[in-house]
Amino acid sequence: MKLRQIYHEEPTSTVTHDGNEYSVNKLLTATKYTKVRPTLVSDLKWILQDDNLDQSRVSRADLSAPILITKMSDGRLVVIDGAHRLQKAIQDNVVSLPAKFINDTVLRSALITK
């Protein structure tokens, strides 16, 4: 599978993590040169236990676009951007997804202040 490097969301797309809201596109821009590493789907399955994702978006999800992940305070990995890709990977029995890890500095750079 050829890895898709350029990916953007709608300009107003945000994500909430640990009670803070972040701009998805700022995160995508900030991680433009971040190394892509395979991440096991099994390490991320727990995230989708309570989610009701739009199945039409899941079916259209591009698994070549890296997901964005970070760590929770308890050490578990969490998806910042890519839940629909994760769900598609689970449905298609994909073992790993391309991922970029977001550190706290990058998270702070995309923080939306109100």
pTM: 0.82
- Flag whether 77 is in a domain: yes
Query: What is the rounded CA–CA span in Å between residue 50 and residue 7?
Result: 26
Q: Is residue 105 part of a domain?
A: yes
Residues 54-94 have pLDDT tens digits of 889 899 999 999 999 999 888 899 999 899 999 999 999 99
The pLDDT, as a whole number, for residue 41 is: 96
Residue 31 included in any domain: yes
Give, in order, the Cα–Cα distances in Å from 2 to each of 86, 89, 98, 100: 17, 16, 11, 16
Residue 114 in domain? no
Domain that holds residue 71: 14-109
The CATH number of the domain holding residue 43 is 3.90.1530.10
Residue 59 located in a structural domain: yes
Instruction: Determine the pLDDT at residue 114.
Output: 57
- Can you give the pLDDT at residue 1? 46
CA distance 102 to 33: 12
Residue 48 lies in a domain: yes
Q: What token pair was written down for 14?
A: 């945000």
- What percentage of the chain has pLDDT greater than the value 90? 46
E-assigned strand segments in 6-95: 14-17, 20-23, 37-40, 67-71, 77-81
Domain-located, residue 3: no
Map tokens 């977001």 to a residue.
Answer: 102
- Domain count within the chain: 1
